[in-house]
Amino acid sequence: MAAEEHFVGVDVGGTKIHAAVVSNAGVVLDRRREPTPREGGPDAILAAVVKTISRLLDDAKVGKTLQGVGLAVPGLLDYKKNRVDASPNTDISGLNLITPIRKTFDVPAAFANDTDAATLGEKWVGSAREANTAVGVFVGTGIGGGILVNRELLRGARYSAAEIGHIVMDIHGPVCGCGNRGCFEALAGRVAMERDIRRAISEGRPTVLAEWIGGADEPIRSGMLRRALDAGDELTKEVLTRAGEVMGQAAVTLRHIFEPDVIIFGGGVIEACGDFLMPLIESALAADPYFRRPGGRVVQSALGDDAGVLGAAAAAMMQAGCDPFDPEAVAFDHYPKLAMTKRDKVRADKKLLDGDLAVRVNGRVRKRDKDSDAPNLASAAELTCGDLDRACRGGPGILIIGANDSSPLPDACNEYLRRRAIASEILSPQKAIKRFNTLQARKAMLLLTGEAANA
Ligand SMILES: [Zn+2]
């Protein structure tokens, strides 16, 4: 088993710079977010990236174990010249990010397009971890993609491959930001949904969104779409159904071209509305009359907002000569040692804990429910997707559930885990603790401490 080494992954976004210290096991150990400067051009953004990394390293005290820095950057990159060729929404066009980062921190530095990095992150430790060939589709403001063939990113002759958002899906469709008509992103990105919703409102369609949305320059965020779905809003359901069907047809096309092991859907819209959209995508793939053979499964991002920083860290590892996909090179020594005390309390290292617990991938222990008055559960059947979301943050390969009652998880929870390719085991609390302590894996645990009714 290799020793723990540290890399920094930075996701340089249009609104924020997200930097994380990542172990060679693909665990985010520490993070920092700073706003992306809106003025001062590329130099100001470079200075902000350097400052964010410096502050992160000061707090994290990584010191001599820092092995490399990776950056996930929006736009078209020139990997030969280490330069950003064009970045439509972030003012970094023409910038060489690599040389200054390498000089400042005296370690190898690498960069990757942001959605390429997110796909790499999902391959490393997310829901594509078992795949050798994977396609990532990230639905946010627009739609970005990444293509991994035999564990390597497909970059194209001039590094502009994987512009999945610009597959033309309706030659008479609406004009896209890129100038073409009917691109995937012009039909199913968040901006496209917003356009359809605003048009329907102007035509007098009733919707809860009419009261919630601000002026024309205030975007309809993914969280607002989620709340509208929860409120049973017909217009939102209609617009999301249309977008989900388009996503499904895009997935069918991607499967025909690449026949990947998995197609990963992620990004803000999927994070917020995945339970509504993923079944539409799955049924489009299932209905494809051409490809009837198994494979080309669709999965949901297991890493969420961390896919970018983790993929950037994986790129840094490769630049430093390490193989992130080599299981022998991975150390899992950051988890607490758990023990059950005589009084049915749980000890995590030296800390004594009470009630239902979640141990996350990063080794941190949390209460199962944020609400400290929440009752302790006796059975996995009482768990909700919200509980799983809290425990599975960071994307475990396996979730161990300790419960006094051996009932199975509810269907919705099994769907949640299946979509993210997370395995699960339900054991008695004592056995679950033993299993957790000894299993060498990217693991998380939910420990339920309520008494079973028939116990
Ligand atoms: Zn386009």
Q: How many residues does the chain have?
A: 455
CATH class of the domain comprising 6-123+306-329: alpha beta
Under a CB-based contact definition with an 8 Å cutoff, are residues 22 and 55 in contact?
no
pLDDT of residue 1: 47
Distance 240 CA to ligand 1 centre (A): 20
DSSP alpha helices (H): ranges in 172-306?
Answer: 184-188, 190-202, 209-212, 222-230, 234-258, 268-287
| 99 SS3 class | helix
On whether the 128-301 domain is CATH 3.30.420.40, my answer is yes
Closest of 316, 450, 294, 270 to residue 376, by C-alpha = 450
Distance 162 CA to ligand 1 centre (A): 12
Alpha-carbon dihedral of residues 258, 261, 266, 270, nearest 10 degrees?
A: 100
10 Å Cβ neighbour count for 394? 22
| C-alpha R_g of the chain | 22
Distance 71 CA to ligand 1 centre (A): 25
Place of tokens 């601000």: 214
Helix H or strand E encompassing 207: none
pLDDT of residue 446: 97
Helix H or strand E encompassing 438: helix 429-438
Distance 137 CA to ligand 1 centre (A): 14
Distance 181 CA to ligand 1 centre (A): 7
**Rounded alpha-carbon distances, angstroms, from residue 258 to 52, 80, 135, 161, 254:** 38, 26, 8, 13, 6
Distance 427 CA to ligand 1 centre (A): 50
Closest of 358, 365, 407 to residue 382, by C-alpha = 407
Distance 247 CA to ligand 1 centre (A): 15
Distance 76 CA to ligand 1 centre (A): 14
Distance 126 CA to ligand 1 centre (A): 28
pLDDT string in tens for the chain (455-residue length) = 467 789 999 999 989 999 999 999 899 999 999 999 999 999 999 999 999 999 999 998 776 789 999 999 999 999 999 999 988 788 899 999 999 999 999 999 999 999 999 999 999 999 999 999 999 999 999 999 999 999 999 999 988 899 999 999 999 999 999 999 999 999 999 999 999 999 999 999 999 999 998 777 788 999 999 999 999 999 999 999 999 999 999 999 999 999 999 999 999 999 999 999 999 999 999 999 998 776 679 999 999 999 999 999 999 999 999 999 987 777 788 899 999 887 778 999 989 988 999 999 999 999 999 887 889 999 999 999 999 999 999 999 999 999 999 999 999 999 999 999 999 999 999 999 999 999 999 999 999 999 887 65
pLDDT of residue 2: 60
**Rounded alpha-carbon distances, angstroms, from residue 448 to 336, 374, 393, 413:** 17, 12, 18, 16
CA angle 149, 150, 151 (to 5 degrees): 90
Distance 186 CA to ligand 1 centre (A): 7
Under a CB-based contact definition with an 8 Å cutoff, are residues 233 and 174 in contact?
no
CATH topology match: 128-301 vs 338-447? no
10 Å Cβ neighbour count for 81? 10
What global pTM score does this model have?
A: 0.94
pLDDT of residue 87: 86
CA angle 169, 145, 128 (to 5 degrees): 120
pLDDT of residue 13: 92
Distance 28 CA to ligand 1 centre (A): 34
From CA 353, how far away is CA 442, in angstroms rounded?
A: 23
In the chain, what are the domain boundaries?
6-123+306-329, 128-301, 338-447
**Rounded alpha-carbon distances, angstroms, from residue 226 to 89, 133, 176, 269, 393:** 25, 31, 25, 9, 19
Under a CB-based contact definition with an 8 Å cutoff, are residues 119 and 128 in contact?
yes
Closest of 372, 338, 363, 368 to residue 352, by C-alpha = 338
Distance 87 CA to ligand 1 centre (A): 15
- Considering the domain 338-447 in this protein, what is its CATH number? 3.40.1230.10
Distance 174 CA to ligand 1 centre (A): 10
CA atoms within 13 A on the CB side of 345: 9
Residue 20 amino acid letter? A
Distance 88 CA to ligand 1 centre (A): 13
pLDDT of residue 295: 67
Distance 195 CA to ligand 1 centre (A): 15
